[in-house]
Copies of this chain bind each other. A is one copy, B any other.
Amino acid sequence: MIGRVKRTVTIDDVAREAKVSTSTVSYVLSGKRPISAPTRKRVEQAIAELGYRPHAGARALASSRTNTIALMVPLRVGVNVHVIMEFVGGVVARARDFSHDVLLLTQDDVSGLDRVTSGSIVDALVMMDVEADDPRVPVVAAADQPSVLIGLPADPEGLSCVDLDFEAAGRLAVRHLAAAGHQEIGLIGAPPEVMARHTSYADRLLRGFRTQAELAGVAIRVEPCEASPAGGRAAVDRLLAKAPGTTGLLVHNEGALPHVLARLAETGRQPDVVALCPADVAAAQTVPLAHIELPAEAIGRTAVDMVMARLEGEVPAETRLLAPALIQPRPAS
């Protein structure tokens, strides 16, 4: 013990301590070949005793696997802060299940894509908030490692995609409201910029909403909405001014939702409201609220599952659209 200098423990130290070869240690770690029980036991003991940790870089160099996936997140603060957090949580948790870490990239960091698609930095990539005609898509499609997109670009170019089926959600909302007898319904949706960017989900929701409204023969009115208290109130006022007969409403704007509800209450109108949001956001409102669930965490987990599947075997790219579900509020007690 005297004079022992603290040095990083390597696989060779472990091998020496366990009186086996380095390759044996490597194999008990990876499980890639059978090891006799006693040998395994000795190795494991040595590892524990020495507190051995494989060196990530060395591993990456030798195996060309980094055990890291990149996650590109829209870090600009916007409508969906809450949704984004849930989503990220899902990704990180699931990645850990596959012994992978998560490297955080921001949406606007274009050079991040280059760095990451160069190969040596991560094994795979998950990209949030894809727009209909997203310039990042071709870049990612040309990369070596598997990627999955959250959202649905116009042309996925052979990439995997996951998302809530927003189009079906739009239809579902209209069906629900029409069935309740409403003849004029409204949509209070994403902020104008998001609409203008043709962010995939906003477009798809709108399409479903329109299609079904036509089918059901109900009149609709669509209002973009800033994700602020004032924005929510203003959107309500605009909507009611232009379409005073509105009696049913779909709200897809987490940030504005409480204020939309508050403003509606003030006006004395009590239209039938359906929100499109995570369950806990719906539950947090002051009034019981029908909502179509936005399963952000589940989408995150699924994204990782898909990307891992592609990493393992030669599964083809696929698009998964999760079916929306409308949840009625629990009857007031």
Contacts and interface: CB of A to CB of B under 8 A. Distances in A.
Interface string A98-116: 0001111110010010010
Contact of A92 (B68, B82, B106, B230): B106
Given A93-B106, A106-B89, A121-B101, A56 B57 contact: yes
A68 B103 contact: yes
A113 B285 CA distance: 36
A53 B93 contact: no
A235 to B, nearest CB: 13
A220 interface: no
A280 interface: yes
A82 B255 CA distance: 11
Given A81-B82, A233-B286, A258-B229, A75 B57 contact: no
A14 interface: no
B102 A103 contact: yes
A169 B280 CA distance: 32
A120 B86 CA distance: 29
B88 A104 contact: yes
A77 B83 CA distance: 10
Given A58-B61, A81-B85, A85-B84, A96 B109 contact: yes
Contacts of A76: 89
Contact of A56 (B60, B84, B104, B229): B60
Copies of this protein in the complex: 2
A119 interface: yes
A242 to B, nearest CB: 22
A268 to B, nearest CB: 15
A8 interface: yes
Contact of A104 (B57, B103, B280): B103
Contacts of A120: 8, 53-58
A228 interface: yes
A56 B123 CA distance: 12
A89 B103 contact: no
B57 A119 contact: no
Interface of A: 8, 53-61, 66, 68, 71, 75-77, 81-82, 84-86, 88-89, 92-93, 96, 101-106, 109, 112, 115, 118-121, 228-230, 233, 258-259, 262, 280, 284-286
Q: What are the nearest 7 A-B pairs in CB distance?
A: A57-B60, A53-B118, A228-B284, A57-B61, A55-B120, A57-B57, A75-B89
Given A92-B106, A228-B284, A230-B285, 5 more contacts: A55-B60, A75-B88, A229-B258, A230-B286, A233-B286
13 contacts: A53-B120, A56-B60, A57-B57, A57-B60, A58-B61, A92-B105, A96-B109, A101-B105, A101-B112, A229-B284, A233-B286, A258-B259, A262-B262
